[in-house]
Amino acid sequence: MKGIINRPVKLWLVMVTAAILWMMGAGFQKANSASSEDLYDGLKLFSDVIELIQREYVDEVDSKDLIQKAIQGMVQGLDPHSSLLPSDAFEDLQIDTKGKFTGIGIHITMRNGFVTVISPIEDTPAHKAGIEAGDRIIKVDGQFAKDLREAVRMMRGPKGSKVAVTIMREGIKKPMEFELIRDEIPIQSVKFVTLKPGYGYLRLSNFTATTTQEFEKALEKLEAETDSMKGLILDLRNNGGGYLVTAIEVASEFIDKGVVMYEEYGDGSRDTYTAKAGGRATEIPLIVLVNEGTASASEIVAGAIQDYARGQLVGVVTYGKGTVQNWIELDNGQGGVRVTIARWLTPNGTQISEVGLTPDVIVEITEEDYTNGVDPQLEKAIELL
């Protein structure tokens, strides 16, 4: 029986190998023969190992599952932000910037082999329970969270249902247990308040398709309350990112002209993103709040503001996600691949990946501050205005 099972698998793998080699000849003619032979040998080894496992492994295995896991390992081995998602999870992971969903409300990534919190989303179960940027998610409902896909799947669920999340936090020896009630996660990304006449506070929780419009409406309302804006605090703390185009638009609200960021590809070529004309806040004195949960698109905005000395950054060193990913949908409903296509640099040419942005004014928040409801970072920002 095993021989019968193996034959279609072997035939299928040979067909895949042939198709890849055909594409190599058609689309990669510049590749030398040595590299082509290396790839052929690698594909043959892959086929041989699959067949060996099918023949010798103690339990029956699903060949498609083996192949998917192999591809996942290949993609995740590139960097922490590249991944393969099957069809049932491909749309789920994109919902954060498209519509409402139910879950606990966190942005996560793979970092150093662990599912790691980039930032909690404001006013969500995770945020209210005290889950923080940098927390490592070890288990969900008692099951080990081994990869990003499984972690997302296990933490999402019906509104009102319970989920137990076990995390490890730097500086705390024992795992921390959180029992959360899943809720509808809001996508509204902008909140604002007048601190005092002429001084406004704008909080951006992420960068969605509607963030720019929300930002402009919020600024209009702040301006309507005073004769002139004398100062503005832009809060990007725990903002895990979002759409690149939205980040460029938001940065353009504060920077009247010039480069916002460079996108640098593997061959050394660059795309340049410049500020769009017509920004509403290019002359308003500005302070930007950042922390370890400020990542990706929010670092683009903060980095441009810092490089142009448009405003001071207050807080602690940011997350350091200095790469750009693209979602590529696979044929025949097989899901999609999220692959890193470039690195991005600030206007001064700084690459912040794994390093982050260092604020102009370092202000930390202690556990005691959290407990007492004190925000020294915001207090310092108000003082600087």
Tokens for 303?
A: 């980095």
For residues 344 and 265, the answer to whether their CB atoms sit within 8 Å is: no
Length of the chain in residues, anyone?
385
Among residues 296, 353, 360, 375, which one is catalytic? 296
Is 321 assigned a catalytic role? yes
Active site residue 296: yes
Calpha distance 362→292 (Å, rounded): 12
CA distances from 327 to 71, 93, 241, 332 (A): 16, 10, 15, 16
Query: How many other C-beta atoms are found inside a 10 Å radius of the C-beta of residue 57?
Result: 10
Contacts of 234 (CB under 8 A, 6+ apart): 202, 204, 254, 286, 287, 288, 289, 301, 305, 311
Q: Is 79 a catalytic residue?
A: no
Give strand ranges (E) for the chain: 83-85, 101-103, 106-111, 114-120, 136-140, 143-144, 162-168, 176-181, 183-185, 190-196, 199-204, 231-235, 259-264, 270-274, 286-290, 312-315, 323-329, 336-345, 361-362
Cα–Cα distance list, 153 to 45, 102, 131, 146 (Å)? 32, 11, 18, 12
307, 353, 375, 380: which is the annotated catalytic residue?
307
Q: Which of 291, 313, 315 is nearest to 303 (CA)?
A: 313
Nearest to 342 by CA among 249, 258, 247, 244: 244
Candidate list 183, 189, 298, 321, residue with the active-site label:
321
One-letter amino acid for residue 124 of the chain: T
Q: 311: part of which helix (H) or strand (E)? A: none
Residues forming beta bridges with residue 168, ordered by sequence position: 136
- Residue 304 to residues 251, 256, 259, 289, 321, Cα–Cα distance (Å): 7, 11, 8, 14, 15
Residues facing residue 120 across a β-bridge = 106
How many degrees, rounded to 5, is the angle at CA 66 between CA 61 and CA 70?
160
Q: Which of 299, 341, 304 is closest to 319 using CA atoms? A: 299
The backbone torsions φ and ψ at residue 55, rounded to the nearest 5 degrees and listed phi first, read -85, -40
Active site residues: 296, 307, 321
